[in-house]
Structure 1
Amino acid sequence: MYKKRTVALLVVVAMVASCLLTLTLTGQWSFAGSGPLRSGIFADNVGTGSKEGIKKIETAMQLVKNNYVEGVDQQKLVDGAIDGMMNALGDPFSSYMGPETAQQFSEQIEGSFTGIGAEVSMENGNVVVVSPIKGSPAERAGIKPKDILLSVNGESFEGLSLNEAVAKIRGPKGTKAKIKVKRAGSTNTLEYTIVRDDIALETVYARMEEGKVGVIEITEFSMNTAERFKQELANLEKQGMKGLVIDVRNNPGGVLQIVIEMAEHFVPKGKSIVQVEDKNKQREKTVSKGVGKTYPIAVITNKGSASASEILAGALQESADAKLIGEATYGKGTVQTSFSREMGDGSLLKVTIAKWLTPNGEWIHKKGIEPDVAVSQPGYFSVAPINKEKTYKYDMLGEDIKSAQTMLQGLGYDPGRTDGYFSKATETALKKFQTDKKLQATGVLDEKTAEALEAALIEQIRDPKHDNQMNRAIEVIRKEITSPVSNK
């Protein structure tokens, strides 16, 4: 599935700046109580208390300008004040972007961006990964949802805003970003070296599997995704497709209208796709104008499937009899809209304006959607990288040794144990691996051996036969195709 994309590196970090794709409203979409402000930054009906607050901000800025010991950049003060305002909401999906970041965000929505390929948000003062983009350098390097990013190239993110952290992660194509990561369940800090690059514009990839099972992978919901999805779906149906697997793993979301348009292919006319609840608790239900499909459908999800991906999964599960395969989704049940014109200088304010609920009225925020068929990937899919600055040998103990043992086991070399103790069995397995890779068979875990282990493991992970979730989804669809009651 990755073959069309080459190794495009993307710093989704452009979009990352506002929690990347998440779920965004564009065009004329609006909900009761959430329309655009009427005159500049502040609406006409600002109350007395609000006016006093604005005056207080202006006074503070003037005091700083008049009294601070060094020169003051007024624009930085303004940006900092707005950043602080958004941070005070305690919502990782509401944020402020300066003109440059706002432009990058717009490009992301259009389907083009540059970076390392990981959507991030700010949570409790930490830069947290929402999801690595599927097939991106970040995903291939081993970045996982919920990872906390600590620094890049030695520069700490502590005390920085999300935009400031994102700016440090970004950089010219071909340059390296050494990112330190804190991961739940790991006692050691991890470090990944990721080469920055461009990302292809494609968001939809399709193929036909044996038994006329179609597979469509959606990497995000950009403005061109619905049309591309329609084309690929029609092409599979022309080939005689009998069942469909939709893969939204590590898909961070996108534009609300787009996912609704895509869901209409499968949700029968009159059935609900999604409900949106505004700040006044008023709900608007979107119902399908489509006709639905008679063939069986499965949707593959994991904990990196967020926002619009969850809308699609929930709509198809509850209104189109689709089976969800894989892992529980991320759990982002809010809707954002962007205010750029009102800001007046190219900057952008991204604000959470509503909740979204599944057709049955379930708010999945911070819970996610549970699969109908739970399937985990092999343990080595999430193994931590090995610190290549150290060397390990018999009778040593450590997390890097544990990672090496997990890799050896996944590659078919029996290390005897996977608890981090460098045993004689581990030494023997390592020698066998070194011999097979034409390395000096020392039984010592050095830099070259660690690099060879990781390269071999990446190759194995890319092999479709080891993708448990995809294979199970295809198996489920094949069984439904051959079942006497496969039609809906």
Structure 2
Amino acid sequence: TGYDSYGLYKSYPTFDKEEDNKGTLYFRLQNNKSEYKSIDSLINIIEKNYPFDFARPVSRVAKIKADTLSGMCNYISGVDSYIRQKYNDPHFSIKMNGCKTKNKSTGVLLYRLKEGYKVSAILDDSLKNKIYLGESIVRIDGTEIQKLSSERANELLLKEPNGVSKLELKNSKGEVRTVEYTHKDSYKIPSNFVQKTEFSTINDEIVYLKIKHIDKDALYIFLENLPEIKSKKKLVIDLRNNGGGDFLIGAQILSLFIPDEFKYYQLRDKFSGKNEDVIVNKNLSDNIISNKLELRVLVNKNTSCVSELLAYNLKKYFKNTKVIGIEHTAGALATLYEVLLENNNNVKFRTNAFARSIIMLDGKSIEGKGISPDIHVNIRKIEDLQPYNDKVLITAISK
């Protein structure tokens, strides 16, 4: 029978078990092949079972760097790079414990606007007289970045200490110049860039809650501030850069807003194609937020997994909800397994390939698609972004 998660779930699909969707698997080849062959075989099995084949923008020509001479750590790094390029899936990766990670950092960050990449932050004070916020970046170390993904372009900016970066910059007049600089050991991140869970009062009518991760701390901060939330006209829940967390905690948070039993999500059996609902029980406590409250949920492309469930269900069941953002959410809604090599537990895959079921929202998968905002915020300049004037938050306060 399905695991009832301490009574919170009224109904869970009969073909699946909630506790089976978070597990550790051990992989072993019977003929005792080398670790490299074991990893290759495991990748092959995972790829054959991968449930969301090319649901996201990916590189179909990605190849594993088959360099076994440089050691296991370098090989694992190459495999992980291959996985990221081919699948672009936050639930699919590999790492190896004990490998020394290269200390790479950057004093400059970038962001893609409509007309191209712009300097979005300067973390090194010595560069502030050489590079200016909002300048266009044309090339990094000779590589033109216009057609590169944001992740790849930002990777080019990362260097080890004493590494040298060369940026080709273009100002508002179209003038191009080159700036070279040497990387330091590390850079201090300004406080306005640091993401943390916080509750604050914006004015007499509006309160703001930033949730970095869906965990017990997120639930507790709701419960601790429930009296003040209930006394206000509007609550802004900031789920930007929230990578998800605990499905059960997500259901408990939603129950504060949805007192009646509700359909949380569906599971589709990969074998039969049958859909069954995950139903959350009625909230019998006094911890209920009136639907007279205006709710604004902030999202971005890094809002993923359980945080997407929150945004979707609040939009569906809580009548005064508006989802606000620059772009759609990540579209990464899946359960996760850790897969270890039996002969080397330091090598660890994270993958969604072995779950028996696929998570659906009202019969549809949002994998690779995400959730579109009700109110789309157009970012015209770098100062509109969150670390600065935060046009998304301003929109949430005013609408």
TM-score (norm 1): 0.47
The separation in 2 between residues aligned to 1:182 and 1:308, in whole angstroms, is 36
Alignment CA distance shift 1:130-1:77 (3 Å)? closer
Q: How does 1:70-89 map to 2 (within 5 A)?
A: 74-75=34-35, 77-89=37-49
Contact 2:304 2:330 in 1 (8 A): yes
Q: Which runs of 5 or more structure 2 residues have no equivalent in the other structure?
A: 54-79, 110-139, 160-185
The separation in 2 between residues aligned to 1:166 and 1:356, in whole angstroms, is 30
In the other structure, the counterpart of 2:212 is 219
In the other structure, the counterpart of 2:256 is 265
In the other structure, the counterpart of 1:306 is 304
Give the superposition deviation at 1:304. Answer: 1.6
Alignment CA distance shift 1:224-1:328 (3 Å)? same
Contact 2:93 2:349 in 1 (8 A): no
Q: Which runs of 5 or more structure 1 residues have no equivalent in the other structure?
A: 1-24, 43-53, 63-73, 94-119, 132-160, 382-409, 411-459, 477-488
Alignment CA distance shift 1:26-1:361 (3 Å)? same
Give the superposition deviation at 1:324. Answer: 0.9
Q: How does 1:251-290 map to 2 (within 5 A)?
A: 251-279=242-270, 280=272, 281-290=274-283
Of 198, 209, 225, the residue aligned with 2:202 is 209
Q: How does 1:128-139 map to 2 (within 5 A)?
A: 128=88
Give the superposition deviation at 1:258. Answer: 1.6
The separation in 2 between residues aligned to 1:292 and 1:369, in whole angstroms, is 24
The separation in 2 between residues aligned to 1:299 and 1:469, in whole angstroms, is 10
Alignment CA distance shift 1:257-1:184 (3 Å)? farther
In the other structure, the counterpart of 2:241 is 250
In the TM superposition, what whole-angstrom CA distance separates every residue of 1:323-347 from its partner, at most 9, and x where no partner exists?
A: 111132121233334578x999586
Matched to 1:244, the amino acid is L
Q: What CA RMSD, in Å, does the superposition of the two structures yield over aligned residues?
A: 4.8
Matched to 2:30, the amino acid is E
Matched to 1:192, the amino acid is L
The separation in 2 between residues aligned to 1:225 and 1:26, in whole angstroms, is 22
The separation in 2 between residues aligned to 1:26 and 1:345, in whole angstroms, is 31
Alignment CA distance shift 1:316-1:210 (3 Å)? same
More strand by share: 2
Give the superposition deviation at 1:202. Answer: 8.7
In the other structure, the counterpart of 1:323 is 322
Alignment CA distance shift 1:166-1:297 (3 Å)? farther
Matched to 1:163, the amino acid is I
Q: How does 1:334-353 map to 2 (within 5 A)?
A: 334-338=334-338, 350-352=351-353, 353=355
Matched to 1:248, the amino acid is L
Asked whether 1:192 is paired with 2:115, we answer no
Of 11, 14, 30, the residue aligned with 1:58 is 30
The separation in 2 between residues aligned to 1:260 and 1:121, in whole angstroms, is 34
Of 362, 367, 383, the residue aligned with 1:365 is 367
In the TM superposition, what whole-angstrom CA distance separates every residue of 1:79-138 from its partner, at most 9, and x where no partner exists?
A: 453344224434589xxxxxxxxxxxxxxxxxxxxxxxxxx996574484859xxxxxxx
The separation in 1 between residues aligned to 2:312 and 2:81, in whole angstroms, is 23
In the other structure, the counterpart of 1:471 is 394
TM-score (norm 2): 0.56
Matched to 1:218, the amino acid is I
In the TM superposition, what whole-angstrom CA distance separates every residue of 1:274-299 from its partner, at most 9, and x where no partner exists?
A: 33333232312323523442311111
The separation in 2 between residues aligned to 1:292 and 1:224, in whole angstroms, is 19
Give the superposition deviation at 1:313. Answer: 0.4
In the other structure, the counterpart of 2:76 is none
Contact 2:90 2:332 in 1 (8 A): no
Matched to 1:323, the amino acid is K
Of 297, 300, 318, the residue aligned with 2:295 is 297
The separation in 1 between residues aligned to 2:226 and 2:303, in whole angstroms, is 25
Give the superposition deviation at 1:376. Answer: 2.7
Of 215, 226, 234, the residue aligned with 1:234 is 226
Give the superposition deviation at 1:307. Answer: 1.4
Alignment CA distance shift 1:124-1:204 (3 Å)? closer
The separation in 1 between residues aligned to 2:379 and 2:278, in whole angstroms, is 36
Give the superposition deviation at 1:77. Answer: 4.4
Give the superposition deviation at 1:363. Answer: 2.6
Q: How does 1:376-387 map to 2 (within 5 A)?
A: 376-380=378-382
Alignment CA distance shift 1:164-1:344 (3 Å)? closer
Contact 1:307 1:331 in 2 (8 A): yes
Partner secondary structure for residue 41 of structure 2: helix
Alignment CA distance shift 1:76-1:26 (3 Å)? farther
The separation in 2 between residues aligned to 1:355 and 1:121, in whole angstroms, is 25
The separation in 2 between residues aligned to 1:311 and 1:362, in whole angstroms, is 13
In the TM superposition, what whole-angstrom CA distance separates every residue of 1:254-277 from its partner, at most 9, and x where no partner exists?
A: 221121111111123123333333
Give the superposition deviation at 1:236. Answer: 3.2
Percent identity between the aligned chains?
18
Contact 1:271 1:287 in 2 (8 A): yes
Alignment CA distance shift 1:333-1:88 (3 Å)? same
Partner secondary structure for residue 176 of structure 1: coil
User: With CA pairs under 8 Å and 6+ residues apart, which has the higher RCO, 1 or 2?
Assistant: 2
Alignment CA distance shift 1:349-1:130 (3 Å)? closer
Q: Which has the larger radius of gyration?
A: 1
The separation in 1 between residues aligned to 2:216 and 2:4, in whole angstroms, is 10
The separation in 1 between residues aligned to 2:49 and 2:144, in whole angstroms, is 25
Matched to 1:475, the amino acid is S
Q: How does 1:404-419 map to 2 (within 5 A)?
A: none
More helix by share: 1
In the other structure, the counterpart of 1:417 is none
